[in-house]
Amino acid sequence: MISNHDANASIHQPDSYLNHIPAHVALIMDGNGRWAIKKGLDRSQGHAHGASKLREIVTKFGEYGVKYVTLYAFSTENWARPQNEVENILEILLTSINSELETLHQQGVKIIHLGDKTTLPEEISHAIAKSEQLTENNSKITLSVAFSYGGRSEIIQAIKNMVSEGIEAENVDEKTFERYLTTYGIPDPDIIVRTAGEMRLSNFLIWQSAYSEYYFTDVLWPDFGDEDVELVIKTFSSRNRRYGKS
């Protein structure tokens, strides 16, 4: 975890960090509800404000040269939340797609959905498919949205698909297995960022994060801004990634 002291110090590093930019940043966007409660608002307003930050943050990472951003928007476990909260989140997702899609497309953003589409309402599933189809040839930055996603269920589904295709055990290696993951074709995250002070993965990209760096911050997601993006970049630049080597 990066401490507040380390964060304050790291922002004064020279701009040489621009030579060491993560290709893939993954974000666990936590704290929408707590942000709303602190301000005396309904939790739904926290989710709405958090959603309104997405294009700003993705754009800012893109300005630094990050080529892949993955957002953990809704986990398989989140379906167990109160029904009215789930319905509100689904409505915000649909509104965000409809209002932001054309702008993201014009900015060269390629959109990919990670997760179980079969659990989604038809209207949302259709909107996601439309966004993927419209942006499939864009290449400036790839935005993967993990919605109704769980790392364990992704692994189980990959195994089921391999078995159904008759893959023999002796032919299974890491590269073969990765072809059956929803993230196939996307590099593993270089750094995983989690907001709101929580320090766990919560079933997010558990295969893909084997050698990822981690960045935990107390900042609530709706308050996450340009300076926080800069700190993520600078923190990554200070890490020595050995991949198990001495």
pLDDT digit string, tens, across residues 37-72: 999 999 999 999 999 999 999 999 999 999 999 999
Q: What is the pLDDT of residues 78-127, one digit of tens each?
A: 999 999 999 999 999 999 999 999 999 999 999 999 999 999 999 999 99
Residues 235, 240, 242, 246, Cα dihedral to 10° = -150
- Residue 30 annotated as catalytic: yes
What does each C-alpha distance from 107 to 27, 43, 65, 120, 139 come to in angstroms?
Answer: 20, 31, 14, 27, 10
Tens of pLDDT, residue by residue over 172-186, are 999 999 999 999 999
Dihedral of alpha carbons 146, 148, 154, 158, sign: negative
Sheet strands (E) in the chain: 24-28, 68-75, 109-114, 141-149, 191-194, 213-216
The SS3 assignment for 21 reads coil
Regarding the domain delimited by 4-238, which CATH topology (the fold level of the hierarchy) does it fall under? Undecaprenyl pyrophosphate synthetase (3.40.1180)
- Residue 159 is encoded by which pair of tokens? 């195994």
Query: Which pair of tokens denotes residue 137?
Result: 């040839």
Query: 160 CB contacts (<8 Å, ≥6 apart)?
Result: none
Quote the percentage of the chain above a pLDDT of 90: 88
Q: Which helix (H) or strand (E) holds 2?
A: none
**Which one from 4, 6, 78, 228 is the annotated catalytic residue?**
78
The first and second tokens of residue 179, run together, are: 């072809």
Residue of 8, 19, 30, 240 marked catalytic = 30
Query: What is the reported pTM?
Result: 0.90
Angle at CA of residue 109, ends 241 and 88, nearest 5°: 95
| 207 or 2: which leads in pLDDT | 207
Are the C-beta atoms of residues 67 and 21 closer than 8 Å to each other?
no
Contact 127, 102 (CB under 8 A): no
Give the pLDDT confidence of 187-199 residue by residue, as tens digits: 999 999 999 999 9
CB atoms < 10 A from the CB of 121, how many? 12
Across the chain, which distance is largest between two alpha carbons, in Å? 58
